[in-house]
Structure 1
Amino acid sequence: MRVAISTDRDAVSVHFGRCPVFTIVDVENGAITKTDVVENPGHHPGFIPEFLHEKGVNCIVSGGMGRRATQLFNSLGIQTIVGVTGTIDEVLAKLQAGTLTAGESLCQPGAGKGYGLDKTECDHPDKKAINKEGTQ
C-alpha cells in the first residue's frame, strides 16, 4: 500500500491542501519499504487528488480535509484518514503497527473563505497539528 501524509516540518499538516510537502511511504506486511518526500504541487480544487493518484497513492493521511476533497479522493479509490495529529515518525510507527486511527477532521465545514483568490486558510488553531499530549 502507498500512503501519502500531508506534512508540515516534522508533523502531520492540519490541512492537506496547504501542506508544503507530502511524505509518501510504501508499506508492505507492516514494514515501510520506501519513503519519498514530494512538494505540494499547488492547491486548487481537484488537482492534488489526481496528482497523488498518478503517484500510485492508495491512502491519504491528514489532520483535516474538506468534504469535496474527501469525495474526490474516494472517487479515485483513495482512502482518507483525517483527524490525525503528531509527528511523521509517530504516524509511521502506527502505520507499521496497524494502529493508526481516524478522528474528526480538523477542518470544519464553512471555515474556509470559499473558492477564489481570497481563500487563505481554514480557521485552525495553529498551522501545525497538536498531539494528544498538547505538544507539536
Structure 2
Amino acid sequence: MRKDNGKVTIAIPLSEKRLSLHFGHCSEFLIAEVDRTTGDIMARKLVPAPPHQPGMLPSWLHDQGAQVIIAGGMGQRAQQLFQQKGLSVVVGAAASEPELIISDYIKGTLVTGGNICDH
C-alpha cells in the first residue's frame, strides 16, 4: 500500500487536452499529484499513451504512480484489472478540462453519468 502523505495521484486519459471519452483511445495521460485538502496540483506530467494492448494499462499506470483513474468510459474487465492493482476507478466523467475534473473530484462534486463503454 502506498503512503499518500495527504496527496493522491490521479491519472486522466486525454484527447485534444480534454478527458477522452473512451479510455483505450486516448493520446496521452495527465498524471497529477494533488493535495487532498486544498485540491492544489502539486506536480503534473503529460505522458504519451503507450500502444494499446489489452491488459497493459493497469500495470503501466500503476508504475506511473497513479492511485485514481478518472475516465469517461472503460470496459468492465479493464476496471477489474485496475482494481486488482489497487487503483480506484471513476467512470462516466464528461469530456472536460482535466484541472476542472480534478478540482471537482477532490471537492466531491464530480458529476458522473453512465459508463459509455460496454465491453
TM range (shorter): 0.7 to 0.9
Shift of 1:88: 1.8
1:48 has 2:43 as partner: no
Counterpart amino acid of 2:51?
A: G
1:23 has 2:30 as partner: yes
Contact kept, 8 Å, 1:81 with 1:101, in 2: the verdict is no
How many residues were matched structurally? 109
1:68-106 superposed Cα distances (whole Å, 9 cap, x missing partner): 100000000000101101222321331343322443111
Write the distance in 2 (CA, Å) between the matches of 1:76 and 1:19. 21
SS of 2:99's partner is helix
Percent identity, please: 36
Structure 1 unmatched ranges of 5 or more: 110-136
Write the distance in 1 (CA, Å) between the matches of 2:75 and 2:90. 12
Q: In structure 2, do the counterparts of structure 1 residues 33 and 98 end up closer, same or farther at CA, with 3 Å as the change threshold?
A: farther
The CA RMSD measured in Å over matched residues stands at 1.4
1:83 has 2:92 as partner: yes
- Report which of the two structures shows the higher radius of gyration computed on alpha carbons: 1
Greater percentage in strand: 2
Structure 2 unmatched ranges of 5 or more: 1-7
Counterpart for residue 14 of structure 2: 7
Write the distance in 2 (CA, Å) between the matches of 1:101 and 1:71. 22
Write the distance in 2 (CA, Å) between the matches of 1:39 and 1:48. 12
Counterpart for residue 71 of structure 2: 62
TM-score, length basis structure 2: 0.84
Write the distance in 2 (CA, Å) between the matches of 1:53 and 1:74. 11
